[in-house]
Amino acid sequence: MRILLISDEESSYYWDYYSADKFKDIDLIISCGDLAPQYLEFLVTFAHVPVLYVHGNHDECYDITPPSGCICIEDTVFVYKGVRIMGLGGSMRYRPGREYQYTERQMRKRYHKLRPKIFYHRGIDILVTHSPAFNLNDGDDLPHIGFSIFLEIMKKYKPKFFVHGHVHKSYGHQFKRFDTFDDTTVVNACERCIIEI
């Protein structure tokens, strides 16, 4: 299965220079957040494959205009063609009262509520988040510090992939497209990236 990962920056490769052949081998699209809902709607319309998404820290507009035809996988384990995909969007809380921003404790609580679903599906294959994991290609400033609970999830369930966004290519030396943590391949989905599972 070929999966197109997207996050944070609308890709002109698809958005401005569309051609149907660019999607011919894509089986699924996963958004890691902070993308215009119109962009996701465009992809689900013209790619003719499911588009799954979690929220980024700037996705308050989804409350008013959610991306039509797309599937939100926040706080659930979604299974597509046998691949078990868990979603935990949002970033570290840096502005109190804002949606899609969480403390470490709040993110842990979200994970603990998901444990029965993980148990039911006998694990996960892909962990989808917006924020990176703590000390794993995250930033030094509060908005871009990752969550340590993501490291614990990877240690416990050993998903094939951990995919996230939030750390942009324009940040320079901090950007790393691929990494590994134990048995998991870590992928920064910023703009676009394709994986196979």
Please report which helix (H) or strand (E) contains residue 39, including its range: helix 37-47
Digitized pLDDT (tens) for each residue of the chain, 197 residues in all: 999 999 999 999 998 888 889 999 999 999 999 999 999 999 999 999 999 999 999 999 999 999 999 999 999 999 999 999 999 999 999 988 889 999 999 999 999 999 999 999 999 999 999 999 999 989 888 989 999 999 999 999 999 999 999 997 766 556 789 999 999 999 999 999 999 99
For 64, which DSSP code?
T
Supply 157's token pair: 């369930």
Contact, 119 vs 141, CB < 8 A?
A: no
Sheet (strand 191-196) strand order: 71-72, 51-53, 28-31, 2-7, 191-196
Rounded to whole angstroms, the Cα distance separating 75 from 88 reads 6
pLDDT tens figures, 89-112: 999 999 888 899 999 999 999 999
Number of domains in the chain: 1
Task: For residue 9, count other CB atoms closer than 10 A to its CB.
Answer: 17
Supply 123's token pair: 């694990």
Q: What is the pTM of this model?
A: 0.95
**CATH number (domain holding residue 141):** 3.60.21.10
Q: Which domain holds residue 91?
A: 2-196
